Each structure stands twice: as C-alpha cells, then as structure tokens.
Structure 1
Amino acid sequence: MSRNLLPVLALLCGTLFLFLGNGLQGLLLPVRGSQEGYSNEVLGLLGTTWASGFVIGCFVAPNVVRRIGHVRAFSGFLSLICLNVLLTGILVDQTAWLILRAITGFCTAGTSMIIESWLNERATPESRGTIFSFYISITLFGVVGGQLMVPFADISTPILFMVCGILYSIAALPTTLSKAASPQPLKRARLDLPGLFRNSPISFVGILLIGTANGAYGTLGAVFATRAGLDHSAVAAMVSITIFAGAIMQFPAGRLSDTMDRRHVLAGLSAASALAGLAVALLRPTDVYSIVILVAIYGAAANALYPIAVAHANDFAAPEDFVKVSGGLLLLYGIGTIIGPTLGGPVMSFAGPHALFAVTAVAHMLVTAYAIIRSRQRAPVPVEEREAYQTAPTSAGPLATPESLSLDPRAKNEATAEMKEAS
C-alpha cells in the first residue's frame, strides 16, 4: 500500500490542508453570521452562492487551466481563496460575504479539479483503487478536522479566519513546489439532462432532491444548532457526527443494495431520513443529546443515498459511459445544493430553526415515493449483471468535481474505450 501512495503523498498532504481550510471556513461563516445577527435567508445564500460558484467552476476552470497551465492556475485559485477568507474576517458585511463566497466556490472547484487530475495522472491500474479511497477519506477527515477547530478560538475575532488562510497557504506548497510534469488538460464538464433522465428517472429526480436536502442541511445545520441554543463545541460535534455517521453507513447500505433492488434501498433510507427529520421538526428538541442522536440518525441515512442512486444509474448505462453518467449526476447534485439553502433560509425564518428538517423531510419523502413508483414500472438489472457498489465522492463529504470520477476504478472501462477509439 505504501508503495502505491508514495508517488502522490505530497498531493494528498496538500489535499488534506485544502479541505481542513474548507471545513473550518464552511462552519465558521454560518456560526459567526448567526452571532452577527444575519437573517436565515442571508445565511442560506452563503451556501447558495458557494455552490453556484462551484458548479460554474466545474465548467469554466478547465478553460483557465488550459490557457495558463496547471501550476499557475492552482496558485492563482488558492491565492484568491486565501485572500477571500482573510477579507471575510476583515469585512464583516453580508453583501461582501456573499460575493466572496461565490468566488471561493469557483476557485475551490478549480483547485480540486487540478489536484484530482494530478492524482489521476500519477495513478497506475494497480494503485488507482487505493489512491481513490485515500482521496475520499482525506477530504472527509479534512472537512471534519476543520470543523472541530471552531471551538478552539473566539469566533468574534479574526483569529480563525487567519488560521484558515494559513491552512490554504500550506495546501499550495506540495503542488507549487513539485517537479512533476503537468498532467493532461482537465476534462470538460458535461450535463446531458434528457440523457440522464432517460437512463434512470429515479436517479435523476432522486439526486436532485438529495442535493436539495443535503445542501439545506450542509449550509444551515450549524445555523439551526446555534438558534437551538447549542454552544460552539456542540455545534461542531453535531455537524461532524453527521458526516461520520454517513461515512459509516456507506458500507452496510451499499452491500444491501448489491443484493436487492437498489430503489427499495433508496426508499428505505429516504424514509428513515424523513422520519428523523420530522422528529426534529415536530418534537423541537432543545437538549444537546437528543439533537445529536436524531441528527446522527438523519446523517447516517441521508448521506448514504447519493452513491446508491449513482450505482443504480450506472446499472442501466453502458460500462464505458461511467464518467459521463456519474459526472452529469454530480453536477445535478450540485444544482440541488443551490436550491436547498435558498429554500431552507426562508422556511426557518417563517417557522423556526427546527423547520429546516421539514425541508429535508419533504425532499426525502418525495424520493421514497418516487423510488417505490419506479420500482413497479421497470425491472431491476439482475444482481449478477450489476457492477458492485462503491462509495462515491460527495457521499458524506464536500462537493466533488467531475474530474474526481476519473480516479474511480470503475472509470477503467471508459478509458479502455477511449484508447480503442484512438488506435
């Protein structure tokens, strides 16, 4: 294993610091914004603008990299991210934060795509699975580690924003100082909505709704916890345990989906997510233990949905179309994360902070209903003809880019097809 990881160890270290910064900044902004008295609508828009910038970056960043090269583009994107987070700590103004957050989302897409293309270039057929697994794990632990830094300093001061800037600066070093040759140009993002729907209607609709629910919670979960009276340590613990519970749930849920109709698994997990969300929305718990337990159940079920929906879509797609289908669904998920916080903020202002989980519950109930309907309209792919489930980027962590899918061992079929066409 160490032999497989040594060639990309520096890149993986840079990835860790990049996502430590992302995790810290992603939790710090809504908590500090709540303290400053920003409305739920504005706090929701912090997630909307970031996700919008990220999705746009997936389309535009490859052109930037093609023009100026990987190293210059990576340095430029990270410099802008670092500048933005420092300005966020200085300019405590909601309009400035929204603009800076959109730019940060765009640049995050660019840096992530460049790192992923570098890892893909250095990966061999034997090491691809190991590198892919470590990459997903590092992004997950990076985000959680960043979130857990929030209680260690006074959020009313610029200290944590400065720490975040330091983390981003360290993230730049392994790549900018590397002597490795630049990889191939980044792949252009593709989004064929009619084709995605024809291939798998439940994956299309389900992933849009899953993105809506995850986007609402991912942006406004900390706002809910703050409004519910939790201190900063409890807020960080609640948000982090959601991610860990989702990561742990990947394996049993995935194995179950390998042995039965994946749509039934989607329906069951969505129903569990909806019930946990409704329990928070209707019972309105205020003590930290009840909130953390219910939110952990919610996170375990909700964060296991995305990779199962992707696996179901790929059951009906040609093996060589894995990157095209999965990349399109990834962008569709990103669109959902734009919708979620935009809806969640006004609902929380109208019905109280616990109503955030009413938004997620409605989305998950719709997934449950549609999964059941579709399971009666189309037969599943026989178990022996399916490709085995594998966890996917974005399953329990941050948004991923279409470039990350080239690292997935399941992309080997598409690479083989492209080589045959070229020859």
Structure 2
Amino acid sequence: MLTTLASVASLLLSYGLLLLGNGLFTTLLGVRTKLEGFPTEMVGAIVAGYFVGFLLGALFTVRVIAGVGHIRAFAAFASVMSVSALIPVLWIDPLVWLVTRLVAGYSMAGMITVTESWLNERADNETRGRVFSFYMITNFLAAGCGQLLLPLADPGEFQLFSVASIVFSLALVPVLLTRATSPTPVTPQPVRLGQIYRTSPLGLAGAMSAGLVNATFYGLGPVFAHGIGLSTTYISLFMASAIMGGLVFQWPVGRLSDRLDRRRVLTMAAALTALACTAIVMVATAPVSKWLFAASVLYGGFSFTIYSVSAAHANDFSPPDRLVQTTSGLLIAYGVGASCGPLLAAAVMGRVGPPGLFVFSAAVNVALALFAVGRMFSGRIPARAERTRFQALPAGHLTSQELYTALKDARDRDIARLSGHF
C-alpha cells in the first residue's frame, strides 16, 4: 500500500494544488460577479457554463490525452486553467466570463481524467479502495482550504486572481518532475440510462438531485453569502464549513448506509439537508452568528453524501458486469443536474433574493425524500450478499474518465439512430 501511495504522491500533490486553486477561483468569481453588478440569472449561467464545459471535456479530452500522453495533457490543461484565472480581471464582461468558465470546466475534466486513470493503473483490487479514499480526502481538503485563501486580499482587486493563477501553475511542477510512466487510454463501454432507471430509479434520481444541489452550492453559495452581507472572511468560512462537513460526514453516513436500508438513509440525508436549508434561511437575515456556520456544516455534511449513497444503492442492484456502466450513467445524471441547477436556482434567487438558493435546494431535497419514501413501498431490498460496500465519492467533482465512456457511447448511439432516418 505504501509503495502504491508513493508512486502516486506527486500526482496527488498536483491534483491537490489544482483543487486548491479551483476552490479559491470558484468562490472568488462568485463574489466578484456581485461586486460587478451582474444579474443573478447571468451569474447562474456563468456557473452552469463550467459544468457544460466539464461535460464536453469528459467527451473530448480523452482524445487529447491519447494523442500526447497524460503528463503533457495535464500540463496543457493546467496552463489553460492558469490563463482562465486571469482573463476575468482583463475583460469585465459576463459573456467573456461565461466562455472562460466553459473552457475552465473543459480543462478541469481533462486533468481529472488524467488523475483518475493514473490512480486506477497504479492501484490493484486490494489497494484501490484505500487509494481512492486518499483521493477523496484530497478533494475535500484542497477545495475547503481553497476557500480560506479568499481573505488574503480584496476580491475587487486583481491579487486573488493572480494567486489562483499561480497555484494552477504550481500544480504543473510535481507531475512534470515525476518519473512515472503514463497509463493507457480508457476503452468506452455501452451505457443505457433507461436500464439503470429500471434497475434503480432512486439511485438515478439521487445522482441527479446531487448535481442540482451540490454544483449550485459551489457556484452560487458565495453569491448568497455576499448577498446577506457577509464579509470576505465570513464568506470563506461559510463555504469551507460546508465542504469540511461533507468530508467529516462521509464515513458515518456511509457506515449507516451499509447497515440499514439505503432508501431510509437517503430519505434521512435528503430530509436533513432540507432542514439545514431551512435553518440557513432562518438565520440568514440575523447578524452573523455561529448558528449560520453550524447549519452550513450540517448542510454540507448531509448534502455531499447523497451522491455516494445513491451510487451505492444503484450498485446494489447492478449486475457485476454492469457496474462501470451503472457508475457512468449516474455521472451523466449528475452532470445534467449540475448543468441545469445553477440556472434554476439563479432564477429563484432573482425572485426571492439570496435565500432563494436554499429555498431551491430544500425543494429538491424534499422531492428526493418523498420519492425515496415512495420507493420503500414499491422496491425490493437487496440481500446483504448482493450489497456493495459504501465508497465515499467527491460530491462536487465528476469522475470524468467514466463519464467519458458514458457520453461517448451515448453520442455514438444517437448518431446511429439518426442515420436510420435518412
């Protein structure tokens, strides 16, 4: 195990720096959009653009990686991210920012594809779970620490954008200096969302709900915090509290889902997320207090576990030879939710103000909880021997290598279907 971790240490360091910079940049851009007076609906479009770019990147960046190799591809995508962090201070234009975020999402998908394919090659069946546990911890810790960089300077100036660009550039160094060989490209496998829905409707619904809520929080959480009058320091603490809550709650919620009916655990997680949303809305208009940050921890703790529990529930019903396809299908559902959620939440915020973000999130989670309750009376419980072990998954970051296989196959099937009409 130690040998395996040593072989990917430089990769995880580069990935951690990447997430550190992206955590800062995402929150910084959300705050800056409001300082520039952009309409909330336009801010939602900018946030959604990132995830649209991510979906496109999941489909097309594999070709780049196969052509030039993992190390060069990572370097190229990190360089693009470094440039994308500087463009918003050179051109104050919402359309330019939208395109910039789309390109950033595309590049991020490429770097995550490099990271995950590398980890998969270095790990065997005995060590893969532990290796990806370190990967998950890197996700949450780096993204959470990135929030804490926000108070270093005034978001209205250029310094923080420069810091994000520097961190993205530093992410190149460990990977470029590694002596490790590049892994082989992934081979696409067929994915059918209809089959996944018939097998596990709740798993698919949970994945899409997680995309709707989690992606929206990452992009519009800073907008909410700024809108209720939090200072830069408190905005960073508010975001970091939720992300660290997601890290801390992964293990206990996962253990609970391994022991109980996962439908009950999903119902509980969704209901408690909605309750945390209600608490945040209630204290949002009051002076800054510890209760806002406590509610933020609970929100992140339960919200960021929904995707992992949904994936485990879907895999409980999936045949062993369809596990990869099931995972890919769930990620497509997450990606669709992540692309639509910011637009819908921004529309609600435009009507009811900053608390509209958590009104939207509460509504999504109440709907998921009700659907989960309905599935308790209509679905079967898998035998314990059929159940898969819970594996914590990074709620805010898609698994782009597997997402590529899903989107590639879906695109090819659509082309074949359309060609039959001509």
Same fold (TM over 0.5): yes
The 5-angstrom pairing of residues 53-72 of structure 1 reads 53-72=53-72
Deviation by residue 1:202-239 (Cα, 9 ceiling, x = unmatched): 11122212211222222111111100011011111111
Partner of 2:76: 76
For residue 271 of structure 1, report the CA deviation from its aligned partner.
Answer: 1.0
Contact 1:34/1:223 (CA < 8 Å) preserved in 2?
Answer: yes
Distance 1:69 1:331 in 2: 25
Distance 1:189 1:150 in 2: 41
Distance 2:376 2:306 in 1: 16
Distance 1:231 1:2 in 2: 43
For residue 122 of structure 1, report the CA deviation from its aligned partner.
Answer: 2.1
Deviation by residue 1:157-216 (Cα, 9 ceiling, x = unmatched): 211111111111111122233332221013448652212211201111222122112222
Distance 2:116 2:403 in 1: 5
**What 5-or-longer segments of structure 1 have no aligned partner?**
407-423
**Counterpart code for 2:202:** I
Q: 1:207 to 1:124 in 2, by over 3 A?
A: closer
2:382 match: secondary structure: coil
For residue 328 of structure 1, report the CA deviation from its aligned partner.
Answer: 1.6
Deviation by residue 1:269-320 (Cα, 9 ceiling, x = unmatched): 1111112213333564332223222222222221111111110100000123
Contact 1:190/1:328 (CA < 8 Å) preserved in 2?
Answer: no
Partner of 1:398: 397
Taking structure 2 as the reference length, the TM-score comes to 0.91
Q: Does 1:140 align with 2:140?
A: yes
For residue 92 of structure 1, report the CA deviation from its aligned partner.
Answer: 2.2
Distance 2:6 2:404 in 1: 21
Partner of 2:319: 318
1:157 match: secondary structure: coil
Deviation by residue 1:322-346 (Cα, 9 ceiling, x = unmatched): 2221122022111111111101112
The 5-angstrom pairing of residues 194-213 of structure 1 reads 194-213=194-213
Distance 1:339 1:61 in 2: 22
Contact 2:210/2:334 (CA < 8 Å) preserved in 1?
Answer: yes
Contact 2:331/2:403 (CA < 8 Å) preserved in 1?
Answer: no
**Counterpart code for 2:223:** V
Contact 2:345/2:357 (CA < 8 Å) preserved in 1?
Answer: yes
**Counterpart code for 1:304:** T
Q: Does 1:17 align with 2:17?
A: yes
Distance 1:227 1:105 in 2: 25
Partner of 1:389: 390
Q: 1:402 to 1:376 in 2, by over 3 A?
A: farther
Distance 1:217 1:139 in 2: 16
Distance 2:3 2:75 in 1: 28
Q: 1:163 to 1:282 in 2, by over 3 A?
A: closer
Partner of 2:305: 304
Partner of 2:362: 361
The 5-angstrom pairing of residues 20-59 of structure 1 reads 20-59=20-59
**Counterpart code for 2:84:** N
**What 5-or-longer segments of structure 2 have no aligned partner?**
406-422
For residue 383 of structure 1, report the CA deviation from its aligned partner.
Answer: 2.6
**Counterpart code for 1:60:** F
Distance 1:158 1:191 in 2: 44
Q: 1:387 to 1:66 in 2, by over 3 A?
A: same
Distance 1:213 1:41 in 2: 16
Distance 2:165 2:209 in 1: 33
Distance 2:53 2:391 in 1: 28
Contact 2:59/2:403 (CA < 8 Å) preserved in 1?
Answer: no
Distance 2:239 2:329 in 1: 28
Distance 2:311 2:332 in 1: 12
Q: Does 1:225 align with 2:225?
A: yes
Deviation by residue 1:332-373 (Cα, 9 ceiling, x = unmatched): 111111111101112111111112111001100110111111
Q: 1:372 to 1:108 in 2, by over 3 A?
A: same
For residue 382 of structure 1, report the CA deviation from its aligned partner.
Answer: 2.0
For residue 404 of structure 1, report the CA deviation from its aligned partner.
Answer: 9.4
Aligned-residue CA RMSD in angstroms? 2.0
**Counterpart code for 1:64:** V
1:379 match: secondary structure: coil
Which of 373-382 and 289-298 deviates more? 289-298
Q: Does 1:295 align with 2:300?
A: no
Partner of 2:411: none
Q: 1:342 to 1:131 in 2, by over 3 A?
A: same
The 5-angstrom pairing of residues 190-269 of structure 1 reads 191-269=191-269
Partner of 2:152: 152
The 5-angstrom pairing of residues 105-116 of structure 1 reads 105-116=105-116
Structure 1 runs (4+) deviating above 6 angstroms are none
For residue 145 of structure 1, report the CA deviation from its aligned partner.
Answer: 1.3
Contact 1:330/1:402 (CA < 8 Å) preserved in 2?
Answer: no
For residue 156 of structure 1, report the CA deviation from its aligned partner.
Answer: 1.6
Distance 2:141 2:129 in 1: 18
Distance 1:175 1:326 in 2: 28
Contact 1:117/1:403 (CA < 8 Å) preserved in 2?
Answer: no
**Counterpart code for 1:171:** A
2:186 match: secondary structure: coil
